[in-house]
Structure 1
């Protein structure tokens, strides 16, 4: 595989970012002992993956003069998905930020829908390895085939976790899965799994979600929709007290919307071209790596 030019490599993957990512990639020595390729290819592969995600081009259109065989790049990407490399790098950066007290634990939760390109819609409807869901997180909604990205973002518009569902899925049922995916390791003791508060829009206003947060000691900042308010008032005293709602804290819910906007600057994530949910989610983790690295 050709070595990526210095100018192109620096433009896509800076030296600072590579120095933070490289130690977390699979062991160079282990790969060489197993008959793998030379360790100098690691940065070329990573740069090639970033090129595809930022440009949204097809894998077959990856420039061979700069990146070599697209099959070799995609195979390495897939292998790193299988061994959990991308999620491990993303989680390590979260843990480092938390150790430096750089994570704002006022968390906002929301979702966004991305259209599924026709090249990704031909996946066989059966699960693959690496915990690939049988539906591949592809569903048919009003606008056609789509995937829904559920995520939590900290108070500085940076992603904390991702959950994929078919596009027609509602937000509320995925909420507990998002909270379960929010795990940030710590050098000593248990991982951090509980934010100080969770901000969400009216789609997440349900008794089950409020109970879930209350049992875990997490403040819920979720407004009630008009129909729930009217139903409670119609019941009179039997309707119970209205849930507490912090209007000032709710003003920060736009952090998750701004995080989604940052993710959608990557053309390969604005539209889903990947057939498998695991590879598409790896793209989200890579974008998250850049966001947390401040690149």
Structure 2
């Protein structure tokens, strides 16, 4: 249960991006739940996968309050800034290798359907969604795109690379706008995709359909499969309950921030 508790290091970084806690007005009234309490509940829901109504009352914040704050902070761009901050810390410490990007996808069931869902080809046509994930050479989460479960992989790779590749500071020099190399499996096989990637200055390493195994790409690609395992370890993302697009985007970005935080903390522990 230790992983269900909000780490102080994560809370300290996130606190810089959260709006100030609102004081009680001149007319009095019930004070607004503090940001740190809400953040603690969001971490708990993300890691345990519990429903909003099952949040323990003694946590100091109802699930409905946490849900509203999750979406409010998504609209303010909080989660995107927290995600970028942990990427910056990884780059500062020499742990970000985003010259190489690796892409893969995973399907999850979507209870109650909702936005960005479609019939799952691996779950008897039940509603589901596809997470297309991009990581660096070490498995740090760079970006994610969500689509219906029936979306083809090769239609997701270009929007993922062009729209979600982060511009990360942390060292002198202009941040990279695209990776130098991109690795993907045969699900992304398309000559048109390769041509577009090359026009962006990206060298594609995408296995062609029908070719035998043993290309050696797996020596690089395995980290994205490990990161997908980490994503599914955050149980709120293992099965999708939220229907609104804003909540889905918020969970995805928060999950990437959590993964990168754990990588950064692990690297810092090794350095000590």
Once residues 58 and 77 of structure 1 are traced to their aligned partners in structure 2, the CA distance between those partners, rounded to angstroms, is 14
In the TM superposition, residue 185 of structure 1 has moved relative to its aligned partner by 3.5
Give matches, 1:1-295, under 5 Å: 12-28=5-21, 31-32=22-23, 41-105=34-98, 106-118=100-112, 121=113, 123=114, 136-142=115-121, 143=123, 144-180=126-162, 181-186=164-169, 190-226=174-210, 247-294=215-262
- Using the TM superposition, name which of 144-153 and 92-101 deviates more: 92-101
**Pair 1:199–1:38, CA change in 2 (3 A):** farther
Once residues 54 and 37 of structure 1 are traced to their aligned partners in structure 2, the CA distance between those partners, rounded to angstroms, is 29
Deviation digits for residues 175-196 of structure 1, max 9, x if unmatched? 1110021122436665422212
Count of matched residue pairs: 253
Taking only aligned residues, the RMSD between alpha carbons, in angstroms, comes to: 2.6
SS in 1 for 2:156: helix
| TM-score, structure 1 as length reference | 0.77
Deviation digits for residues 209-229 of structure 1, max 9, x if unmatched? 111221122221112112xx7
SS in 2 for 1:225: coil
Once residues 18 and 40 of structure 2 are traced to their aligned partners in structure 1, the CA distance between those partners, rounded to angstroms, is 14
| TM-score, structure 2 as length reference | 0.83
| Higher radius of gyration, 1 or 2 | 1
In the TM superposition, residue 33 of structure 1 has moved relative to its aligned partner by 8.8
Once residues 34 and 223 of structure 1 are traced to their aligned partners in structure 2, the CA distance between those partners, rounded to angstroms, is 61
Once residues 213 and 73 of structure 1 are traced to their aligned partners in structure 2, the CA distance between those partners, rounded to angstroms, is 40
In the TM superposition, residue 204 of structure 1 has moved relative to its aligned partner by 1.2
SS in 2 for 1:45: helix
The question of whether the paired residues in 2 share the 8 Å contact of 1:148 and 1:165 is answered with yes
* Unpaired stretches in structure 1, ≥5 consecutive residues: 1-7, 124-135, 230-245
* Unpaired stretches in structure 2, ≥5 consecutive residues: 266-272
Once residues 277 and 80 of structure 1 are traced to their aligned partners in structure 2, the CA distance between those partners, rounded to angstroms, is 14
**Pair 1:86–1:18, CA change in 2 (3 A):** same
SS in 2 for 1:156: coil
Once residues 210 and 163 of structure 1 are traced to their aligned partners in structure 2, the CA distance between those partners, rounded to angstroms, is 19
Once residues 227 and 24 of structure 2 are traced to their aligned partners in structure 1, the CA distance between those partners, rounded to angstroms, is 41
